[in-house]
Amino acid sequence: MHIVSLIARPEALDAALVSALRNALGGGDITWLSNGEAAEFPVEIAPADLDALRASIADQADLNLLPATGRRKKMLLADMDSTMIQQECIDELADEAGVGARVKDITARAMNGELDFEGALIERVSLLRDLPDSVIDRVLATRITLMPGAPLLLSTMKASGAYAALVSGGFTAFTSKIADLVGFDETRANTLIASGGRLTGEVAHPILGREAKVQALEEITAQLGISEADVIAVGDGANDLGMLTRAGMGVALHAKPSVQAQCGLRVNHGDLTALLYLQGYSKAEFA
């Protein structure tokens, strides 16, 4: 048995569309997790061409296929940049350093898997050399905003006993603030090196990239005594694919095309509360 999940922007999910899909797929009773936003129904046989079905309604809703059992996860493993927050921190720092356009281009190519992540990070950080380290606090205060739904995702999962880890290829100066703000239990990230009140243009080694995120998945689940199947992971970039494909639920959130192509669960219309709907939480259950 499988669950067909449909998620749209608030008040944008058409009941007629949901009913038509249910009928076409021979599904069971429709459950509305949030009126006009999230609905699901069971099917005994998985759709033959999921990608074509998704594409046919892509402008209206996100369609995902899930197992009917084991949906509520015991751990959240999340990327930070463009996932838990709406920005890429290094791009915002680069704007302050006057090299924003150059760095944004490198970031976009690295997140789409066109460049080696470690090499791209070293190159981008080198362009921040001599930037006052006080800029970090200013960027945090004036440029960084949470992704919609982030507090609800964390509070609801933690109210159900889940553990939350923020694992980022970004920087500890940012992850520590975001973790405190929304309630992550632990963080892992890279460290910008500063000396004399200015960034040196260097990042501490070893650099946390794709394999380090997989390592975090392995280590934290072992420490908690749970399996990787008990984890929901979320990210948007190529360096997230390792953890996204290993976790029980790996969700590509507003992700780069190359990432979506390799990830079974995709969210393009919803915000981070979509991760709750994918786990079968109704809006009435949000903490």
CA 236/CA 253 separation, integer angstroms = 5
Domain annotation for the chain: domains and CATH numbers: 1-69 (3.30.70.260), 70-287 (3.40.50.1000)
In the set 14, 51, 59, 81, the catalytic residue is 81
pTM value surpassing 0.85: yes
186-212 pLDDT tens trace:
999 999 999 999 999 999 999 888 899
* 21: nearest Cα among 51, 1, 47, 2: 47
| Residue 81 a catalytic site member | yes
| Bridge partners (DSSP) listed for residue 171 | 190
* 190: nearest Cα among 108, 111, 89: 89
In the set 29, 49, 62, 79, the catalytic residue is 79
CA 201/CA 283 separation, integer angstroms = 45
User: Would you place residue 104 in the very low, low, confident or very high pLDDT band (cuts 50, 70, 90)?
Assistant: confident
Q: What is the mean pLDDT of residues 34-57?
A: 94
Q: What is the Cα 46 distance to its own chain's centre?
A: 25
| Residue 79 a catalytic site member | yes
DSSP states of 212-280 as a string? HHHHHHHHHHHHHT--GGGEEEEE-SGGGHHHHHHSSEEEEES--HHHHTT-SEEESSS-TTHHHHHTT
* 69: nearest Cα among 6, 5, 2: 2
Per mean pLDDT, which range of 98-107, 232-241, 267-276 is the poorest? 98-107
How many other CB atoms are found less than 10 A from the CB of residue 43?
18
Res 2 pLDDT > 90 = yes
